[in-house]
Chain A
Amino acid sequence: MGSRDRIGGLIMLAFSLAYGLMALALDSSAGLAAGGFSPRTLPLILAASGALLALLLILRPPPGTAEAPPALQLRHLNWRPALLLCAVMLVYAAIFPYLGFILSTVIFLSAAMVVLGIRSPRLLLLAVLPVTLLLWLVLSRLLGIYLAPGELLLLLAAQ
């Protein structure tokens, strides 16, 4: 238990110190007229309190509570699908501007479901297409939100 808190404390300590260093680099002259309050006043206070609290967590980790979350056994976690899902989300962000809403959403949802173990093509179609089309209809037709069709499709259409 304690070691987990120490790791968390160390990470937050490093974060606070980096944050504080960046805050020191901020321009402090801007606030001289305003009661000594400059853009770096609050960040510096925060960096100091963050570092202090992180040190406290490292030096005096709280006693373990009786109901520790079961998520602790890192090795027993289902890492593969979760990481793959993150990758699929990144792919979605990458293809979205090029393929547009409908195509990229169909790809995203199908890929995510395949990652989680759905293999039946019929089920995939049934789950993915209605959601995508319905949402597209609601957004673009009902609410009148402009969803860019995707640069790649525009290029193809222009030729």
Chain B
Amino acid sequence: MWQGIETGLVTAFSISNLAVVVVGCFAGTVIGMLPGLGPISAIALMIPISYGLDPAAAMILMAGVYYGAIFGGSTSSILINAPGVAGTVATTFDGYPLARRGQAGKALAIAAYASFSGGTLAALLLLLAAPALARVSLSFQSADYFALMLFGLVAVCAFAGRGQVVKSLLMTVFGLMLATVGTDPTAGVPRFTFGQLDLIDGISFLLLAMASFAVSEALMTVLNNEDSARQAAKAAAAGAGSLALSKKEVAEIAPAVGRSSVLGFFVGVLPGAGGTIASFLAWGMERGLARGAARAAFGKGSLRGLAAPETANNAASTGSFVPLLTLGIPGSGTTAVMLGALLSFGIQPGPRLYIEEPAVFWSVIISMYVGNIVLLILNLPLIPYIARLLAVRKEILVPLILFFSLIGVYLVSFNVFDLWLMVLVGVAAIGLRLLGLPLAPMILGFILGDIMEDNLRRALIISNGSPAFLWARPSTLFIIVATALVALFPLFNRRAQAGEGG
């Protein structure tokens, strides 16, 4: 293990990779700040660039962009009450009131310190948890992997929130269906290609991710006629105020940061839960723990109320790398896009990654930590300047986003057919958005589709076509039972809520 860490340190601290982290965090912050564009879009936009890098640098770039995008989302949440990312919605509760009181600088500083602490504690936990989990999962067979992926997909849907469970499951199945387009791996039979040669290799995951996130998010801002540029210009002109925190304020938020880090990390490890749920839980937990005047201040600019979701959100983002790196199973839409990128490098994340590519495994973990430092010392002082970017007019920004998405996909395939397909997918994605059907489970299903079919086939061959593989081994049975329990979670949850609400 130490040898691996050493390799990882050398890789992460090479000049070029440090530069990659800095660029990634910066680009992520800028993109994440733009209302409507979330981390999935930010990462997808980076993928064409990452193809020019080696796998470790590419992962580092994407991890940096991920962090940057979350931090950028916090910035727009605080400054203009427009969370760019679902994970920073809870940040607006107390962050925006602070900014309106002229304490935007303080709020941004707390967001950065809290993210930093959350990221640090979670990176330490990751350092401990990942190798242990990787070792356990080494004994896993196809049947276990199939069961695990089933678990991941079901868990994402079960935690999707009220009224969203069936829709998420449906979209997961839809994503799995899209993954079957192309030549089938068993018999080499083309499936669902409509005789099109361009579809023989299937739909490119980059195309799907770009079209259903970057393109459709950009078009949605046009459809909704959102215009935050003027508001942002006002916020940028008003100035941020002091960034300094007093000792008393630090003492006030420190315990909240500690609690939220641990909570956030473990929520993040659970497939499907992720940053959004973690940040709401942390905010709720701190409000529950607060007494008297401190409690009344929540939602009106409480420092604790701002620190808790920011910490938890970042800790959860780090936690979500645990299943990705050790099991090769992404627990969220964002890590699913990263998995897709890794797969196109020919790297299969999972327990083998820890053994075969220690440089990738450890340098990503270490770079995440470096990313936190970069955000703190580089981005925080620059925020007032970056915030001016928010004032760039939508009329210019949207065409540029569309252009970068189109050309990014084209540069990978050099096939104009992909451009046509992208517009089609983008329009379909808008339709799904308007119907209230979530797209993140779709991309998750799409990326897991091939691996899942592969493992199902192998498991069935080993068990001679009998479904007994699902319960033949204790480890598989355990995961299947866990899947069933998670699948029942929404039912219990509804009953519990009904009981509470009366």
Binding site for B on A (CB under 8 A): 4-5, 7-9, 11-12, 15-16, 19, 22-23, 26-27, 30-31, 34-40, 42-43, 46-47, 49-50, 53-54, 56-57, 60, 62-65, 68-72, 74, 77-79, 81-82, 85-86, 89-90, 92-93, 96-97, 105, 108-109, 112-113, 116-118, 127, 131, 135, 139, 143, 145
Contacts and interface: CB of A to CB of B under 8 A. Distances in A.
Contacts of B433: 71
Nearest to A7: B435
Contact of A53 (B166, B192, B407, B435): B166
19 contacts: A4-B436, A23-B191, A31-B186, A38-B187, A42-B180, A57-B170, A62-B166, A82-B219, A82-B430, A86-B426, A86-B427, A89-B422, A90-B423, A92-B406, A92-B419, A93-B420, A109-B399, A112-B402, A131-B403
B176 A62 contact: no
CB-CB nearest 5 A-B residue pairs: A30-B187, A62-B163, A112-B399, A93-B419, A36-B465
A12 B170 contact: yes
B456 A42 contact: yes
A117 B222 CA distance: 11
Contacts of A5: 167, 435-436
Contacts of A62: 162-167
A8 B163 contact: no
Given A30-B186, A116-B399, A50 B436 contact: no
Contact of A85 (B219, B410, B436): B219
Given A71-B434, A131-B400, 6 more contacts: A7-B435, A35-B464, A36-B460, A38-B186, A53-B166, A62-B165
B192 A19 contact: yes
Interface stretch (B263-271, B280-288, B367-375, B390-398): B390-398
B251 interface: no
A95 to B, nearest CB: 10
Contacts of B187: 27, 30-31, 38-39
Contact of B174 (A7, A12, A38, A43): A12
A69 B402 contact: no
Contact of A34 (B186, B411, B430): B186
A99 to B, nearest CB: 12
B437 to A, nearest CB: 5
Interface of B: 52, 161-167, 169-170, 173-174, 176-177, 180, 184, 186-187, 189, 191-192, 219-220, 222-225, 393-396, 398-400, 402-403, 406-407, 410-411, 416, 419-420, 422-423, 426-427, 430, 432-437, 453, 456-457, 460-465
A112 B170 contact: no
Contact of A71 (B174, B223, B460): B223
A135 B407 contact: yes
B460 A145 contact: no
Contacts of B460: 34-37
B interface, over-half SS: helix
B219 A86 contact: yes
Given A22-B192, A69-B436, A89-B402, A79 B223 contact: yes
A154 to B, nearest CB: 16
A23 to B, nearest CB: 8
B219 A11 contact: no
Contacts of B420: 90, 93
Given A37-B456, A62-B164, A97 B416 contact: yes
Contact of B177 (A31, A37, A50, A139): A50
Nearest to A80: B222
Given A50-B174, A53-B166, A96-B416, A118 B436 contact: no
Contact of A50 (B162, B173, B223): B173
A91 to B, nearest CB: 10
Contacts of A97: 416
B222 A85 contact: yes
Nearest to B222: A82
A106 B138 CA distance: 52
A37 B457 contact: yes
Residue of B220, B423, B436 with highest tally of chain A CB at under 10 A: B436
Contacts of A7: 435
B173 A63 contact: no
Contact of B423 (A47, A65, A89): A89
Contacts of B161: 65
B400 A50 contact: no
Contacts of A40: 191
Nearest to B170: A53
Contacts of A93: 406, 416, 419-420, 423
A4 B173 CA distance: 20
A67 to B, nearest CB: 10
A65 B435 contact: no
B395 to A, nearest CB: 4
Contact of B223 (A38, A43, A46, A77): A77
A34 B457 contact: yes
B222 A39 contact: no
Nearest to A116: B395
A34 to B, nearest CB: 5
Contacts of B434: 71-72, 74
A46 B395 contact: no
A108 B401 CA distance: 12
A109 B108 CA distance: 35
A46 B179 CA distance: 11
A17 to B, nearest CB: 12
Contacts of B453: 42
B186 A71 contact: no
Contact of B220 (A11, A37, A71): A71
A70 B170 CA distance: 23
Contact of A46 (B177, B225, B400, B461): B177
A37 B461 contact: yes
Contact of B163 (A26, A27, A63): A63
A116 B437 contact: no
A57 B396 contact: no
